[in-house]
Amino acid sequence: MKIDVTGQNIEITTAIRQYAAEKLERIQRHLDQPLDAHMVLRVEKERHHAEAKIPVNGSTLFADATSEDMYAAIDALADKLDRQALRYKDKNNDHHPREARKSEIHNQ
């Protein structure tokens, strides 16, 4: 998993980079392919804003979160992306495999 972390009005420390990578690795377990994530972290006055884009098979998972703490914003962002990844996986999972349908047709 490749994670590109960019900061606007904030210096991205190795601790923040590692924390973001650790949180986004939860999403990798739901999807079958290696991910290339792009995360933008920024500070606006007292609000910390985190957003991320993850391209997945022709579509894009996107989420953003705002909090008073950068780590809390990253946590909220990871939770949103986790829910989106589960929804994407469930939507693209074939609940009725073709082989099973073919065998049912031949049995009749």
pLDDT in tens, 49-76: 999 999 988 889 999 999 999 999 999 9
pTM for the model stands at: 0.80
pLDDT in tens, 74-105: 999 999 999 998 888 888 776 666 665 565 66
2-8/59-67 β-pairing = unpaired
* Domains within the chain, CATH numbers bracketed: 2-107 (3.30.160.100)
CB of 77 closer than 8 Å to CB of 46: no
CB of 5 closer than 8 Å to CB of 16: yes
* Residue given tokens 């986004």 in the structure block: 24
Q: Please, what's the largest Cα pairwise distance for the chain?
A: 68
